[in-house]
Amino acid sequence: MTNPNPLMGTGASKVDGVLYTVSRTAAWAVTGTGVSACDGGGAVTYPSVRISVQVTWPKMRGVRPVTTDSIVTPSKRVLNSDYAFVAVKINTYGAKPNPGRAVTASGPGGTVTEVTDSAGCAVFGIATPGDYDFTLSEPGYVDYYGALKPVVKKTVSKGSFQTFAVTYDRAASLAVNVLTESGYGLPSPLPALVVRSGGLPSPGTRATPSTGSTTVVGDLGPYAQGYTVWAGVCPDAEPAAPPTNQTATVVTPGAGQSLDASAFLAPVAITSSLPGATVTATHASGCTGDGTLTLGVTDANGFLASSLPYGTWMISVGGGVPVSVTPTKDGATQVPA
């Protein structure tokens, strides 16, 4: 609670013209072997509640906040042997405690929200046993698997004590630019973008539709392994995979950070006898994920400089017989069609 007992009637605590902010938190103090119930402990017959109060003010100039901690004991009629406790530990992607995160428990006993303390721990005292959902849903945060609103389901029984941990941190993002060699155009529509990271669930990739020459791929977990990025959802579009076998560039955004990244398309030079003809490409493997790409229209000499994701493609000029081509990373691939 912020300013729970204001000195003035406007919700503010003001003394001698200085506006003070009083923050008060309360948490179950369940017996444990660590700094909090999340770090080891067990249900006790008569747990207490820890009350922490912190006072801050403008222009502190390095002065530490004024703090006080108290222990209060609930009435015996509140607690009995049937009371259960659930301790939820919230960690950052760097395995550090994540304080100030709101966790909501919903079940037969109703819905209640607790906020993690300085140890990243939120403790729930539950009087009604049953199945409960523990939900995190703060905007701009993701769990380890990239879920925006992770839910952990637990069965709470009488007199029990249980703990679980969730990795939950500010989401990262990548501003991906689709590029090719100078003088070569981009296909239409632009193929979807794919990111790969060792932190992502199997198969370790995630696809995002392109929204233009620059696409923001958001809601990413800030994995220490980082991300590789490419254009095209078919398996052989990945530059580091055969037949391209290109060295992957790794981009590693931190929590809450956005970094630039590039997805490079291989240049393709089409030479034909048909001026003003539309050139299209479909994937040769039968993979339909990228659909049919329009590379452009040949000039007066039947020439077109365009680009494609890596992999093997069937290129058709003016609806003619398709020609198989596998763009490479070294120079423009010549396509007589």
Over residues 277-312, the pLDDT tens digits come to 999 999 998 888 999 999 999 999 999 999 999 999
Q: Assess whether 25 and 162 both reside in one domain.
A: yes
Q: Mark which of 154, 169, 184 sits at the end of a domain.
A: 169
pLDDT at 64: 93
**Domain co-membership, 176 together with 131:** no
Residue 273's domain comprises: 266-336
- The angle at the Cα of 295, spanning 293 to 296, to the nearest 5 degrees, equals 130
Contact (Cβ atoms closer than 8 angstroms) between residue 145 and residue 171: no
pLDDT in tens, 84-100: 889 899 999 999 999 99
Distance CA 186, CA 80 (A): 69
Total number of domains in the chain? 3
Whether 165 and 252 map to the same domain: the answer is no
CATH number (domain holding residue 115): 2.60.40.10
Q: Are residues 128 and 67 in the same domain?
A: yes
Assigned domain for 3 exists: no
Q: Is the pLDDT of residue 244 over 90?
A: no
Residues across the chain: 337
- Please report the pLDDT score of residue 113 as a whole number: 93
Tell me the CA distances in angstroms from 310 to 43, 267, 296, one per residue in order: 58, 10, 18
Q: Torsions phi, psi of 38, nearest 5?
A: -70, -20
Domain membership of residue 2 (yes or no) is: no
CB distance 97 to 90 below 8 Å:
yes
**Residue 53 and residue 156 share a domain:** yes
Which of the listed residues 239, 264, 289 is the one where a domain comes to its end? Answer: 264
Residues 302, 300: Cα–Cα separation, whole Å: 6
Percent of the chain with pLDDT over 70: 93
For residue 306, the domain's CATH number is 2.60.40
